[in-house]
């Protein structure tokens, strides 16, 4: 009997400033969809630490990993599970030394196969692939699909497809072996945000892939 990969899961992103609407939507999403991870993107303005503490607690209390974008110090201070950083060896080693071996450290690789391989070999917990978003969508999605298929065929380190809001694209990438789908932060601005997330979550969760 062939072995099956774990089901593909949602990876959510939220960005400061955190509005009451966004907090409410995130709480509902955590309850309804059981995402694997939530990334907190702090932005350029100082964030309220009390609010951040509560946000981290809510995310972890729901059983999801909570990562902070590009801020090792904030991750440690808030008791988050790790960080999401650019695919840079020096940045990675600094984060690993500061947060320890048990921390979850993911790296954003664009479409660079070389950087993804290097950081995975160094110990990154996942690699995230995304397109520049400046060219023809069909062409860019084709390049992303090729990268995901190549990675999933060769490597065991999980990969994330970044900024995917379209259900059909999420399904196609899941069939190619992607481990997590990360919708863009703009999805929270939609009137049907929860419905859109639910459609993606249900679709990717129903697909079983051979390991």
Exposed e or buried b per residue across 70-107, where buried means at least 16 C-beta atoms within 10 angstroms of its C-beta: ebbebbbebebbbbbbebeeebbeebbeebeeebbbbb
Mean pLDDT of 129-134: 89
- Give the pLDDT of residue 3: 81
Cα 5 from Cα 3, distance rounded (Å): 7
Residue 49's pLDDT band, with cuts at 50, 70 and 90, is confident
Give the pLDDT confidence of 186-196 residue by residue, as tens digits. Answer: 999 999 999 99
Q: What is the rounded average pLDDT of the residues 92-107?
A: 98
User: Where residue 153 falls among pLDDT bands split at 50, 70, 90?
Assistant: very high
Q: Is pLDDT of 75 > 80?
A: yes
pLDDT for 210: 81
% of the chain with per-residue pLDDT over 70? 99
Give the mean pLDDT of 14-31: 91
**Up-side HSE of residue 24: CA atoms within 13 Å toward CB?**
5
**Residue 2: predicted pLDDT:** 62
- Does the structure show a pLDDT above 90 at 48? no
In this model, does residue 162 exceed pLDDT 90? Answer: yes
Q: Does the structure show a pLDDT above 80 at 45?
A: no
The whole-number pLDDT of residue 67 equals 98
For the chain, domains (ranges, CATH) are: 9-205 (3.20.20.70)
If we measure between CA atoms, which residue out of 180, 192, 201 comes closest to residue 36?
180
Residue 155 has pLDDT above 90, yes or no: yes
Q: Is the pLDDT of residue 1 over 60?
A: no
With 90 as the cut, is the pLDDT of residue 96 above it? yes
Residue scoring higher pLDDT (204 or 211)? 204
Burial grade of 7 (CB within 10 A; 0-12, 13-18, 19 or more): middle
> How confident is the prediction for the chain on average, in pLDDT?
94
Residue 90 has pLDDT above 60, yes or no: yes
SS3 3: coil
Q: Which residues pair with 13 in a beta bridge?
A: 39
Sign, Cα dihedral of 126, 6, 37, 112? positive
């Amino acid at each position: 009997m062939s072995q099956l990969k774990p089901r593909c899961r949602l990876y959510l992103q939220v960005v400061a400033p955190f509005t009451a609407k966004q907090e409410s939507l995130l709480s509902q999403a955590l309850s309804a969809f059981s995402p694997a991870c939530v990334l907190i993107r702090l932005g350029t303005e100082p964030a309220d630490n009390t609010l951040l503490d509560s946000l981290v607690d809510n995310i972890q209390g729901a059983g999801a990993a909570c990562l902070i974008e590009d801020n090792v110090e904030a991750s440690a201070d808030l008791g988050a599970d790790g960080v999401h950083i650019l695919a840079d060896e020096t940045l990675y080693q600094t984060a690993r030394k500061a947060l320890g071996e048990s921390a979850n450290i993911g790296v954003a690789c664009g479409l660079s196969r070389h950087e993804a391989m290097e950081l995975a070999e160094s110990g990154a917990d996942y690699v995230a692939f995304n397109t520049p978003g400046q060219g023809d969508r069909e062409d860019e999605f084709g390049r992303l699909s090729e990268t995901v298929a190549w990675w999933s065929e060769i490597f065991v380190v999980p990969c994330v497809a970044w900024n995917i809001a379209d259900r059909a694209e999420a399904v196609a990438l899941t069939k190619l072996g992607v481990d997590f789908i990360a919708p863009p932060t703009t999805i929270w601005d939609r009137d049907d945000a929860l419905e859109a997330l639910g459609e993606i979550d249900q679709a990717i969760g129903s697909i079983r892939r051979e390991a």
